[in-house]
Structures are given as C-alpha cells and as structure tokens.
Structure 1
Amino acid sequence: MRDIIYAMNKLSNMSNVDLDDPRFRIRPYQQIIASCTGAFITSVIVTPLDVVKIRLQTQQKAMLSNKCYLYCNGLMDHLCPCANGNMPEWMRRNGKFNGTVDALIKISRTEGVISLWSGLSPTLVLAIPATVVYFVSYEQLRIYLKDTYNKEFRKKSTNMEQPFWIPILAGSTARIWAATLVSPVELIRTKMQSQKLTYAELTQALKTVVRYSGISGLWMGLGATLLRDVPFSAIYWLNYETIKKIFYISQQTFTFNLAAGAVAGSIAAVFTIPFDVVKTHRQIEMGEKEIYSDKPIRSSNTWSIIQRIYHQNGLKGLFAGLTPRLVKVAPACAIMIATFEHGKRFFQSYNAKKAIGFDIEHDVHLLQHKPSSTE
C-alpha cells in the first residue's frame, strides 16, 4: 500500500519534474504548435508599430536623399528637404512625422485605421515559417549543445549545466537559417509598408528586380538583416537565459516570461537598431533605383550606407525609429517567448504525465495483483 501511495504522489507532484529530462522533452511538432500560436498573436499586435517604424525610417531616407539649399538673409545657407517626385505619396499627404504617436494619429486620420495593418498578410506568411524554423532550431541546437557539453566535459557530474556560449551560438545559428529562408517575404513586407503599393504594383516591382538583378535580388538587404538579426539573437538569448538562471524559482510563470522577454528584447534592440535602419534603407532603395529607373542598379553596400547616414544626420540618424522599434520589440519578444514557454511547459507536462503515468499505472497494477505475503 505504501508503494501505491508513493507512486500516486509522484504522478500528482509534476511541478518538481525536470522538464529538460530527455524522456519528457517536447517533440519537434509540439514545438511547431507552440511557436505558431505566439507568432500569430504577436504579428497582429505589433504590425501597426512595425508600419510606423518603417515609415519613420523611410521619411529619414527621403529627407537625406532629396535636399536643396535655401539662401536666407544673406548671412547663411539653410539645408532643408525638398518634396520632389521621389517622395512617397503618403509623405505628401501626412507631412512630416514627429514621432511614434504622431505617426499613428496621422496615418489613421489620412489613410484609415486599417492601413496600420499594411503588410499583415506577408507578415503572417513571414512570421509562421520564420518562427517555426527559428524557435525549433534554437531549441534543438541548445539541447544538443547542452547534452554534448555535459557528456564530454562534465562526465563525473550529475547536474546538467548550460554555459553562457550555448544560447549565443544556438540563437545566432537559428537566426541565420530563419532570416535566409524568409528574406524575400521580408522584402515584400518592407515595400508594402514603406510605399503602400498595391499587389499589382508589388508584382511588377518584383519582376523588375528579378529581370535586372536576377533571383539573388530577392535577397536584397539580407546582409544588413543578418547584421541586425544575428547579434540581436545572440544578445537576446544570452540575456534571456541569464535572467532565467538568476531567477530560477520564478521562471515557471507566464508573467515572469513576459517580463524577461521584454527586458532581453529591449537590450538587444538598442544595440542593433543601426543595422535595422541600414536594412530598411537598402530595401526601399529598390523602389528608387530598381523600379522607377530606366537602368536599375543595385543598392549601396551596408558600410557606405552607414557612413552616409552618419555624415548627413549624425549618430541620431543611425537610431531612427528606435522608439517604435522598442515599443514593438518589447511586447513582441514578451508575447512570443511567454507563449512559447507556456506551450513548452504544457507539452512537457503532458509528455511527463504520459510517461510517468504509464509507468505508475503499470506498477500499481502489478502491486494490486501481487500475491500477499500471508497467502
């Protein structure tokens, strides 16, 4: 009877189960389900903020590339932007955006609230495969590296450790795969959000890119994207896993995952915003140089764009769109990681209950039918 009670207590006390136990780890298809749910929710919530970020960065690029000199009072020249034919139509209607809130208000008033979700379709098409590849790859690589490290270097220890370099390497590698896979869709989304193109115009634009630049033109801006996303992933996962390690007792709650994801994402976003600006500049140049020009040419390289932005607008120019990016990244990382971790815990608990429950039921069955010693 004592054995039966112990077995039942073990089954009910699942909170003490090591969910990283190889027996209970979630399967790839369970990781896919957990990541897809978070990707959908996150995309719907943060798309308006992404539209604002792209518009602010597009506005800066238009002001940098379209300039004139106004002679004032005979004492000095004043540099100012000119509204010429290269300026997007939405910029003429809305005027200059003075910040995130101002952009949200002006876009809603002049283009309609629904325009804040411009590019949502390609965002969803982008988010689902990117998130699946990214999170599944990260989890698989992290677990593999962790198991290998503990097997090779900690043979005499019974405690599983995860050194700081594992999330850095796993996050960076997973991001390279995911970013390369969805780069063409990212290009489409950026164009839709920056110029509000119709699908017909977008199709023609993409045909022009392929005609003059080949299939590789669809990966325009991938270098800048990787320069942004790979360090972002390395910094993000390092901080997130470190926060989890420091606050080990609290890490099983949904609220903790929200807070940890927001903090880790914000830190990574600040360090990588200059590369996000460069990526946007390179991709919207497709409209200026490769679509509306008689002889399209490829856009400038990453370093030359950084130099141009810095010389023309200072350090501030490299951080254009920082506020909407932070406002977007913090909740996006929070929702995505919290949803993913919650899904992981659900499936891990399910797998643990299924595995332990089966063993316990079998043991209980044997104990119940075990001949008594008095017989």
Structure 2
Amino acid sequence: MEDGLLSISALTHALAGAAGAEVATLVFYPLDLLLTRLQNSDNGKTAKELTELVKSEGIQGMYRGLIPNMEAVMASNMTYFYSYHATRQVVKVQLGLRDLPTNPVGNLLIGAFAAVVNVLLTTPLWVANTRLKLQRRMGRDEEYQGLLYTVMRIAREEGLGTLWGSLIPSLILICNPSIHFTVYESIKSRLLRNKFGPSNTLTAFQAFLLGAFAKICATIISYPLQVAQSRLRAERKSSERSVGTLSLLKRLYKEEGFPAWYKGIGVKLAQSTLTSALMFLVYERIRAAVVKILRGRLSSKIA
C-alpha cells in the first residue's frame, strides 16, 4: 500500500469505518432518534417521551429520518476515518518512519485535526439531520424532505450561517471523538503489544468491549456540550431565543437546574456505547479482511 495523503491504507480505514458506522446506525437508530427528542424536550423523561413517540407516530415513527441520518453518518465517518489515517500516513512519511510509535498525545492531536476537518465539512448535514428528526414533534411534519433538500432550504430561507450555527460547540466537541479514538487506539496498541490478541488485529469481542469503553469515557466528559449542540441545530435563525453555547447552558441551568445538562444521558450512554462497540467490531473485521486480500494479491505478484 502506498504511503501519503492518497494511500490505499487510509481509504481502507475510511470505507471500513463508514461501513461499521452504517451498520451500527441501522441497528440502534431508534435510540438516536429518542435521544435527539429528549435533548430538545422540556421534561426530558425517557419513558414519557418514548410512549408519546410510539403513540403519536407508531412503530414506524421510531425510524423517522433514518435514511438522511445514514447519509450524514456515512459522510461524517468517511471524512473522519480518512482524515485521521491519511494524516498519520503523511506524518509517518515526513518523519521517515516505517510506522508511528504508540503515543497517546500524538494520537490525540491527529484525532483532533481529523475531527476539525470533519466538523467543518459535515456540520450542515447534521443541522439538517436534526431538523428532520424533530419536524413532526415541532409541528412541521412535511416541511423538510431529504437531507440535501433540507440543507438547501435552510440556506435559502435562513442563510448559510445557520448551517454552521452549531459550529462552536461542535468544534469544542472534537474532544469527544479525540478522546474516544485516543482511548481506543492506545489500549488497542497495548493489547496487541502484550499479545492479548492476534498479531495485527483485535478479536471481535475485544474490539466490541474496547469500542464501548472508549465511548463511555468520551461521552460522560462532553455530554453538556452535546445537549447545547442539539438545541442550537434545532433552533431557527429567526428564533427569539437564539443564543450562544454558554448562554444556552446558563439558561438551561437557571430554568431546569444541573440535571438539564445531562438530559437523556442514560439513553446517550446506551446509544453511543452500543453503536460505537458495533461500529468498531465491523470496522476491525472489514479492515482485516481487506488487508488480507491485498496482502494475498501482493504475494501472488511476487511469486
């Protein structure tokens, strides 16, 4: 596999990561939809919100917005995984190394850079995705139809700035995937070095547990910002209550107390942990399969 920005290795990681994310999103989407509604609700009571969702929209309502969400997930994960591994390739080539040493700080910096690239490119998709998830609950059932249509309509009616309205909390939230990926890669390297797994990959069980643990760590630390991010994405440009991230968090604290910052945290931990665990399991399996195929082809050519 050639090194550099356009390496096959980076593309393999991007495709495997995106495929893993798509599978996990499909399986656990109802939890993701419920979480978005809880973060934007006034009561934040899981049982009540879930009951109202099923009662008013039926079982099919639990999959409202699934296709646009999967489109956003695909774009976001391909961008992040490709940026992360392409950056590692570039750094490795520039330093003249066969491989980068295990370094949590280095992984954190590369992860942060990849997250910034991802946020700048895909934030409009997530703003549109949030509107699509909430539109029936907000009384605008047929207003938005499809991800790109929603992006264009928001840009036309509310201005391009609205599409990046949640940019500040999103940029601050680069700590989430950075912490997530750093914890995952650091522990993974230690497991492989200590021969708890195969020589070049984790077992399916190890990948599942490690993906879950890494996501729990990242979620608990950054959750209040995720609540603010979700609310800012849902607000219209013309909203009289439109505020900045800190003002929004202060307002929530004043009106509802400290628990408002962790509204839906139980659902979030379940959703993000299970999604992340399944995503990394699929990611590792696909990546290992592709590497095996490429190595087999290379060996046949040499022979």
Residue 355 of structure 1 deviates from its aligned partner by 1.8
More moved, 269-278 vs 313-322: 313-322
Is 1:137–2:83 an aligned residue pair? Answer: yes
In the alignment, structure 1 segments of 5+ residues that lack a partner are 1-19, 61-95, 152-157, 291-295, 362-375
Is 1:169–2:119 an aligned residue pair? Answer: no
Q: Could you say which residue in structure 2 is the equivalent of 1:216?
A: 161
Residue 98 of structure 1 deviates from its aligned partner by 2.8
Relative to structure 1, the CA distance from residue 112 to residue 163 in structure 2 (aligned partners, 3 Å threshold; closer, same or farther) is same
The secondary structure found in structure 2 opposite 1:252 is coil
Relative to structure 1, the CA distance from residue 283 to residue 244 in structure 2 (aligned partners, 3 Å threshold; closer, same or farther) is same
CA distance in 1, matches of 2:157, 2:293: 53
Relative to structure 1, the CA distance from residue 137 to residue 211 in structure 2 (aligned partners, 3 Å threshold; closer, same or farther) is closer
Q: Could you say which residue in structure 1 is the equivalent of 2:207?
A: 257
- Return the TM-score normalized by structure 2: 0.84
Residue 202 of structure 1 deviates from its aligned partner by 6.3
Q: Could you say which residue in structure 1 is the equivalent of 2:259?
A: 316
CA distance in 2, matches of 1:199, 1:268: 35
Correspondent of 1:38 among 8, 20, 27:
20
Equivalent runs, 1:142-291 vs 2, <5 Å = 142-146=88-92, 148-149=94-95, 151=97, 161-196=101-136, 197-200=140-143, 209-210=154-155, 213-228=158-173, 230-248=174-192, 249=195, 250=197, 251-286=201-236, 290=238
Relative to structure 1, the CA distance from residue 32 to residue 209 in structure 2 (aligned partners, 3 Å threshold; closer, same or farther) is closer
Q: Could you say which residue in structure 1 is the equivalent of 2:45?
A: 98
The secondary structure found in structure 2 opposite 1:198 is coil
CA distance in 1, matches of 2:169, 2:100: 37
Contact 1:26 1:351 in 2 (8 A): no
What is the letter of the counterpart of residue 90 of structure 2?
A: Y
What is the letter of the counterpart of residue 249 of structure 2?
A: I
Over alpha carbons, which structure has the higher Rg? Answer: 1
CA distance in 2, matches of 1:159, 1:50: 37
How high is the sequence identity, in percent, across the aligned residues? 21
Contact 1:48 1:116 in 2 (8 A): yes
CA distance in 2, matches of 1:169, 1:207: 33
Residue 186 of structure 1 deviates from its aligned partner by 0.9
Residue 39 of structure 1 deviates from its aligned partner by 2.6
CA distance in 2, matches of 1:206, 1:144: 33
Contact 1:168 1:233 in 2 (8 A): no
Q: Deviations over 1:86-114 (max 9, x none)?
A: xxxxxxxxxx6632x55334422332011
Correspondent of 1:117 among 45, 63, 66:
63
The secondary structure found in structure 2 opposite 1:257 is helix
Q: What is the alpha-carbon root mean square deviation over aligned residues? A: 2.8
CA distance in 2, matches of 1:207, 1:139: 31
Contact 1:26 1:344 in 2 (8 A): no
Equivalent runs, 1:31-70 vs 2, <5 Å = 31-60=13-42
CA distance in 2, matches of 1:236, 1:189: 23
What is the letter of the counterpart of residue 192 of structure 1?
A: L
Relative to structure 1, the CA distance from residue 159 to residue 177 in structure 2 (aligned partners, 3 Å threshold; closer, same or farther) is closer
Residue 209 of structure 1 deviates from its aligned partner by 4.8
CA distance in 1, matches of 2:58, 2:87: 44
Relative to structure 1, the CA distance from residue 184 to residue 49 in structure 2 (aligned partners, 3 Å threshold; closer, same or farther) is same
In the alignment, structure 2 segments of 5+ residues that lack a partner are none
User: Matched residue pairs, number?
Assistant: 289
The secondary structure found in structure 1 opposite 2:41 is helix
